[in-house]
Chains A and B, each alone.
Chain A
Amino acid sequence: MTIRLENVGRRVDGAMHLSGIDLVLEPGRLYVLFGRTHAGKTSLLRVLAGLDRPSEGRMTENGADLAAVPVPSRNVAFVYQQFVNYPSFSVGENIAAPLRRRGLSAEEISRRVTDVARRVQLESFLDRLPGQLSGGQQQRLAIARALAREASLMLFDEPLVNLDYKLREGLREELRGLFRQGRQIVVYATTEPEEALQMGGTTIVLHEGRVVQQGPAQEIYRKPQSALVASIFSEPPMNLVPARIEADRLRIGTLSIPRPAHIPAGLQGECRIGLQPHRVRHAESPGAIRLEGEMLLAEVDGSSTFAHFTAAGHPWVARIEGVHALHPGTAFAGHVDPRDLYVFAADGALVAPAATGGPVHG
């Protein structure tokens, strides 16, 4: 089944939660709903689940209006941030619950429970109660119940947000594997660009209730259509600094460099330049812009360090591989290839992407 949203909007007490959403969701595909908190992710998931009605627009399934179908008769599974399980049922009974409702035979139920439990690595815990499981296992159980339903639409609302760092890393990988096998539509909401990149599929970027860009996560990362997407779909956010394009120079704060060749001819005036944090390099190279300044703070993220520093009158952030101690107040110098600069118009629209980049395949 294909779900189609046309101009879907939702207002609650005059406040706009969703507006002008056009989406086509195809079976067997994964869609990652990406956006900051309050971007409308949960609102959209609830509309998709049928828990809320759109206040405008149309939602159809294979052409039939979905508004006419009551929630219980829709085949939807929902996994929440909180670990929602039946507390007095064992793991096995929890997984069996959605199957019992469908009136399957006892052998069929036990066969499917074992199968699903194996897929989420809970087969040795079938007799335990949810309260006796760790956080990660409790969420696996909630996911198992969703899988057991064999729903044609599976919705995930930031399911890993309440788990430890290392557990998140592992579960993301497991989920990717689980989704790959299915024939269902999976919609997965997250606030982390890293997670969107890791899950794959199609990423839909939401901001203030609107879809601002959609496509493969990698493409959004490399070619954000606006300064807004560039700043939210990157961890740390892309450097965005006011600049001025002149006939043969580019002025960035107190810096002035020769106009990079990839800026379209004829373009002049105020703009914002964008720079991905990992393109601020330690090593000098010919033609590189030198950003010299002072460290504000170094934050470690996984296997890299975010160096926040000031230079040319603006705050910048560099992403450096490895773990490094860089103390606030010490000197910092970064080098930037001018071809790595993105150019955004004053209204935020992308004018010129970086001239370099793109994955290098041998």
Chain B
Amino acid sequence: MAEITISALCHSYDGDLSDRSRLALKGIDHVWLDGGAYALLGPSGGGKSSMLNIISGLVRPTAGRILFDGREVTDLRPEERNIAQVFQFPVLYDTMSVAENLAFPLRNRRLPAPLIARRVAEVAEMLDLGPLLKRRAAGLGAADKQKISLGRGLVREDVAAILFDEPLTVIDPQVKFELRRKLKLVHETLKLTLVYVTHDQNEALTFADEVVVMSHGELLQAGTPEALYERPSHSFVGRFIGSPGMNFLPCALEGGEIRFDGGRLPARGLAVPGRAKLALGLRPQAIRPAAAPTGIEADLIEVEERGSYRIVDLALGANRIKMRLPEDIPLPAGRFPLAFNLSSTLVYADDQLVGDLTHA
């Protein structure tokens, strides 16, 4: 297992670094600690796949370095890096049995037969593949096939990290739960460094201890699922994570007060860079109808029943915001006062988080 360090990584598919706007990766620095479960999250075309291929060695970065446990591997080929990868669609050797598939990476490295047999048995046991070992891999269901792909990585004791490229895309929803759980348990037992690439926020937040959000070739935030949800450091992360995403209200800081169309809130002690474009970021869950006047009044536009909760469209001055309200909290009609949870009322300057309103 290894710690993966990425330093000043830039990549351009035509090798030309002069035009920054066209880069697939725009100077990324990050450290993935040994034994962590990480997700790389972002919309398609955001640079996730380039990053993944650079870690595995299938693509050589145009500039920058990549180190495993402090050892530079930038120029090493994939087979020299001790990396395993699970792809979006199961990749199996169709003519081989399940056991032969699992043994393949070890046979290629010419390990002694008894050791291979022992490793295959161990991994099959861990992934519940024991009863299938003699079967031909080609005839199995997608979930078992993905387990075999994972198993081919796990058999190698020297494996530095396992990379996952949207591995649950082809798995039925009913089976996903089992596979997710298996993955978690494997991680807790073996303490492997895992990197999971996906565009799906639910996959990422479910799988990872730390999520790295990428968009347009830039790393926007790296943090725990809770941190990403509660304190997104970039407005993109706020919108991308959560359902519905974060509300943003354009605002201004004047005389220790945050003013926005429809109300004002005290904001003493909040420092923002001059001339920055300010916005208030509010999770739909952090907004509640208030019993007494708060100085913030909204008009009810539409209520969407979602079973256990409601999504309420509100007009706040010229802004439209969404409130997510559990079914047991009463919803007034017409125009009513709103209360914001101040510790979740975040202030953004030019899309970057600068603080919340609690110190007021």
Interface residues of A (CB under 8 A from B): 37, 164-166, 169, 191, 193-194, 197-198, 200, 217-218, 221-222, 234, 276-278, 296-303, 308, 319, 321-325, 327-329, 357-362
Contact = CB atoms under 8 A, between A and B. Distances in A.
Interface string B306-349: 11111000000000000010111111110000000000000000
A197 B305 contact: yes
A328 B243 CA distance: 25
A218 B224 contact: no
B118 interface: no
Contacts of A193: 307
A169 B241 CA distance: 12
Interface of B: 43-44, 172-173, 177, 180-181, 184-185, 188, 199-202, 205-206, 209, 224-226, 228-230, 239-245, 283-285, 289, 304-310, 324, 326-333
Contacts of A325: 209, 224-226
Nearest to B199: A164
Given A165-B199, A165-B202, A197 B307 contact: yes
Q: Which of A165, A222, A234 has the most CB of B within 10 A?
A: A165
B200 A303 contact: no
Nearest to B307: A221
A300 B205 contact: yes
Contacts of A361: 330-331, 333
B245 to A, nearest CB: 7
22 contacts: A166-B245, A169-B243, A221-B307, A222-B307, A234-B307, A296-B181, A297-B177, A297-B184, A297-B206, A300-B206, A300-B225, A301-B202, A303-B229, A308-B181, A319-B308, A325-B224, A328-B185, A329-B188, A360-B330, A361-B330, A362-B289, A362-B333
Interface class of chain B by DSSP: mixed
Nearest to B204: A300
Contacts of B239: 166
B177 A299 contact: yes
Contacts of A296: 181
A303 B243 contact: yes
A359 B310 contact: yes
A328 B202 contact: no
A299 B202 contact: yes
A299 B224 contact: no
Contact of B226 (A37, A302, A319, A323): A323
Contact of A276 (B177, B245, B308): B308
Contacts of A323: 205, 225-226, 228-230, 241-242
B232 to A, nearest CB: 11
Nearest to B243: A302
B141 to A, nearest CB: 14
